[in-house]
């Protein structure tokens, strides 16, 4: 398996290539069905996309005779990130790679959702330890009745209307607006992003 850290491009390189990627986006990236062969996973997809951006002048170092245009054929040749589990996964994986690049982490640590509550629910349903959900001055992500329903589904969590605090035995999840600098957390929620 490839090391996802190899997909790093450097400050702003992918962001500057995004308009060219979007302009050349293959038709099947826009739909809910696509070639279902050689599914790469997000790390390998990100590596191939990074190599394409690098080759097409993303860092200013172009191969002789190569221009900086990214074509639909180039993007099709990158391949498909994942199966139908995530609709439009090449688009989602490109977004997640761009966010990972901005925050200096692996694409495998970033997940986008079509919902603002699903990033939190995904953690609540999969955490093996109690979750401390810090929302600071923002409203709690769930009403009292929604919290009760989630607890009936086995979710073990407590909401805190304060800034996040590190905790060694619980899973610490925080809205990005409630994350003070220097606090170690297990997950940060931005709208639609974990």
The number of domains in the chain is 2
Instruction: Please give the chain's pLDDT, 194 residues, in tens.
Output: 334 444 566 667 788 888 888 888 888 777 666 666 677 888 888 899 988 988 887 544 444 455 678 888 998 888 888 765 555 588 888 888 888 888 888 888 888 888 888 888 988 998 889 999 999 988 888 999 999 999 999 999 999 998 888 888 888 888 888 888 888 888 888 888 88
Cβ(16)–Cβ(98) below 8 Å: no
Residue 53 lies inside a defined structural domain of this protein: yes
Residue 151 lies inside a defined structural domain of this protein: yes
CB atoms inside a 10 Å sphere around CB 192: 15
Residue 150 lies inside a defined structural domain of this protein: yes
In whole angstroms, give the CA distance from residue 81 to residue 75: 12
DSSP per position, 17-54? HHHHHHHT--GGGSSS----SSB--HHHHHHHHHHHHH
Q: For residue range 29-72, what is the model confidence (pLDDT) as tens digits?
A: 776 666 666 778 888 888 999 889 888 875 444 444 556 788 88
Give me the pLDDT at residue 118, please.
87
Q: What is the CA radius of gyration of the chain?
A: 19
Residues 136 and 159 in one domain: yes
Q: What's the Cα-to-Cα distance from 167 to each of 105, 185, 194, rounded to whole Å? A: 22, 8, 19
Residues 129 and 158 in one domain: yes
Considering 79, 105, 131, which residue would you say is the last residue of a domain? 105
């Amino acid at each position: 398996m490839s090391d996802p850290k190899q997909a790093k491009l450097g400050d702003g390189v992918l962001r500057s290539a995004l308009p060219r990627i979007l302009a050349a986006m293959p038709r099947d990236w826009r739909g809910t069905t696509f070639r279902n062969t050689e599914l790469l996973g997000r790390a390998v997809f990100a590596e191939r996309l990074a190599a394409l951006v690098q080759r097409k002048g993303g860092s200013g170092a172009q191969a002789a005779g190569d221009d900086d245009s990214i074509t639909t054929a180039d993007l099709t040749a990158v391949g498909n990130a994942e199966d139908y589990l995530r609709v439009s996964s090449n688009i989602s994986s490109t977004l997640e790679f761009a966010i990972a690049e901005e925050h200096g982490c692996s694409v495998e640590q970033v997940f986008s959702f079509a919902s603002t509550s699903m990033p939190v629910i995904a953690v609540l349903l999969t955490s093996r330890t109690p979750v401390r959900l810090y929302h600071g001055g923002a409203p709690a992500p769930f009403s009292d009745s929604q919290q009760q329903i989630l607890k009936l589904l086995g979710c073990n969590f407590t909401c805190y209307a304060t800034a996040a605090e590190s905790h060694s035995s619980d899973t610490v999840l925080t809205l990005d607006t409630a994350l003070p600098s220097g606090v170690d957390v297990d997950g940060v929620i931005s709208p639609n992003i974990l």
